[in-house]
A and B are shown apart, each in its own frame.
Chain A
Amino acid sequence: MGIFQMTKTVLRNLSGGPATRRYPAVAARKGPITRGHVVFNPATCRSCGICSRRCPSGAINLDKEANFWEIDRMRCIACGECVEGCQFDSLTMEQEYFPPVVDRVVERYHITYVKPEKPAKKPKEEGAGENA
């Protein structure tokens, strides 16, 4: 029985090829809902701040005055809370894992969202200052 067992394993190993892959040369396996990394779209962000409030690790930093949105990749635990919280679809969870790095990575985005002009009720409009 033992020998038969071993033969089965040996044959499978010979025909099957390695069960591992050469990461990072070969990309890691990912599923359809793998939480890889968060991607930000500066064109739709309304600076509401829900993401930075919901983030359990404090990875997101939003500066409403200067119109900057920052994510500290080393703090982010890819939990997906910010993506669930964002009402404006500015955040998406991509399936690829963030590539290995040796330094702290803080990505800084300039929010480019422009408030659409309100259908002019009054002649005076304040839309400036939104786009820094």
Chain B
Amino acid sequence: MPERIIVPFGPQHPVLPEPIHIDLVLEDEKVVEAIPSIGYIHRGLEQLVQKREYPEFVYVAERICGICSFIHSLCYCQGIEKIMEIEVPDRARYLRTIWSEYSRLHSHLLWLGLFADSMGFENLFMRSWRLREKVLDVLEDTTGGRVIQGTCKVGGVRRDIGQEKLDEIHRGLESFEEECRDLGHVFLNDTTVKNRLRGLGVLSKAEAYDLGAVGPTARASGVEMDHRETGYAAYGDLGFKPVIETAGDCYARCAVRLREVHASIDLVRRAIEEMPEGPIDVKVRGTPEGEYFSRAEQPRGEVVYYLRGDGTKNLSRARIRTPTLTNIPSLVKMLPGVQLADVPVVVLSIDPCISCTER
């Protein structure tokens, strides 16, 4: 039996600029066990609910993650709205959907770039990010912020998008979709990429389900689970079918995200076409009293907010469970059996976001 050695991977490592540490137990070049540890960037944001008033906490929630920022604030606002029994106007629901989907586009394109980078395909990385810039421009022109949108508030949204701008976005989607198709073509059909990704880091459907995988990680293994199906915001009106792949390897996870890019474009298009007229917010009075589990689908999977209010201006408890935390057990399952050189690719394939995980 070959000798076993332990290679520490992280907290500073070449794949992602976020601190996760994994002890890799190797036999020659092959990983036989992976032991993760987190806890490098805990910021205590949940505790801040006791210091910030509940409408102000939206800004804190948004800053938990720099990528899923809008959906964090959306999930928080939906929770408070449920507790306080606020009915959000239709136009606000549609606008929230558009911004959510744009967040997803920018997250997925960012991920595709990083993923290409982890394989050493620099050119593809740059192409993905150049494309992502178009998404960020739309976000900036409609919300005022590139990655921190700051447009969601309890009771609706803070900004409207004018009809002219909506039409412009709608027109722009066509060429954008075309470019995404070109980009996806390289990811899915390039021989080098295929050889690198096929059969790597396989997670079976049963494992994904048992280990509580969420988001594209679960969907790539054939688990049909997407929180958008439950119809929060305007997803209920627009109709939505989750994107599923069955192979469960890195290639399938890549394919799921690429197809989700197109699903998002389609959702934005339909949201713009069916955009109702009307107010964008309602006046919020009183303070939240009660508790609620709020859930939303982030680009990385399902996020859960547990919120409890005691009738004062500050909530008494917030508990946030982010998708990466539940995907780490799946990651630990994927790693044994892969070569050391493939570890960065496999780690990245779950789209880890450590600052979300530790809050």
Interface residues of A (CB under 8 A from B): 1-2, 5, 8-9, 19, 29-35, 56-57, 77-80, 84, 93
State the majority secondary structure of interface residues on A: loop
Q: Chain B: which residue is nearest A55 at the CB level?
A: B56
Chain B residue with the shortest CB-CB distance to A77: B59
- Among B183-191, B202-210, B244-252, the stretch in contact with A: B183-191
| Segment of B83-91, B137-145, B317-325 in the binding face | B137-145
A35/B150 in contact, CB under 8 A: yes
| B133:A19 contact, CB within 8 angstroms | yes
Majority secondary structure of chain B interface residues (helix, strand, loop or mixed): helix
Having A77-B63, A77-B148, one finds 13 other A-B pairs with CB under 8 Å, namely: A1-B189, A2-B191, A5-B186, A19-B126, A19-B130, A31-B137, A31-B140, A33-B159, A56-B60, A79-B59, A80-B150, A84-B158, A93-B144
CB distance from B231 to the nearest CB of A (A): 30
Report the Cα distance A80→B158, complex, angstroms.
Answer: 10
Task: Say yes or no for B259: interface residue by CB 8 A criterion.
Answer: no
Chain B 137-170 interface mask (CB, 8 Å, partner A; 1/0):
1001111110010100000001100000000000
Contact between B182 and A5, CB atoms less than 8 A apart: yes
- Determine the chain B residues whose CB is within 8 A of the CB of A29 once the complex forms: 137, 140
A93 to B150, CA, bound (A): 14
Within 8 Å CB of A2, what residues of B? 186, 189-191
Which of chain A's residues have a CB closer than 8 A to the CB of B30? Answer: none
User: Do residues A35 and B145 form an inter-chain contact, with CB atoms below 8 A?
Assistant: yes
The complex places the Cα of A84 from the Cα of B126 at a distance, in Å, of: 38
B130 touches A35 (CB 8 A): no
Contacts of A1 in B (CB 8 A): 185, 189
Q: Which of A5, A31, A57 has the most chain B CB within a 10 Å cutoff?
A: A31
Given A2-B189, A8-B182, A80-B150, A32 contacting B145 (CB threshold 8 A)? no
11 A–B contact pairs at CB < 8 A?
A1-B189, A19-B133, A30-B140, A33-B141, A34-B145, A56-B52, A77-B59, A77-B148, A79-B59, A80-B150, A80-B158
Contact B182 A79 (CB under 8 A): no
B144 contact from A19, A34, A57, Cβ within 8 A: A34
B127 adjacent to chain A (CB < 8 Å)? yes
* Closest A residue to B123 using CB positions: A9
Look across to chain B and name the residue whose beta carbon is closest to the beta carbon of A9. B127
Residues of B within 8 A of A34 (CB): 140, 144-145
The CA of A35 and the CA of B59, in the complex, are separated in Å by 14
Given contacts A5-B186, A34-B144, contact A56 B59 (CB under 8 A): yes
Closest-CB distance, B42 to chain A (whole angstroms): 20
A19's nearest neighbour on chain B, judged by CB, is B130
User: Which of chain B's residues have a CB closer than 8 A to the CB of A35?
Assistant: 144-145, 150
Give Cα A116 to B251, complex, Å.
71
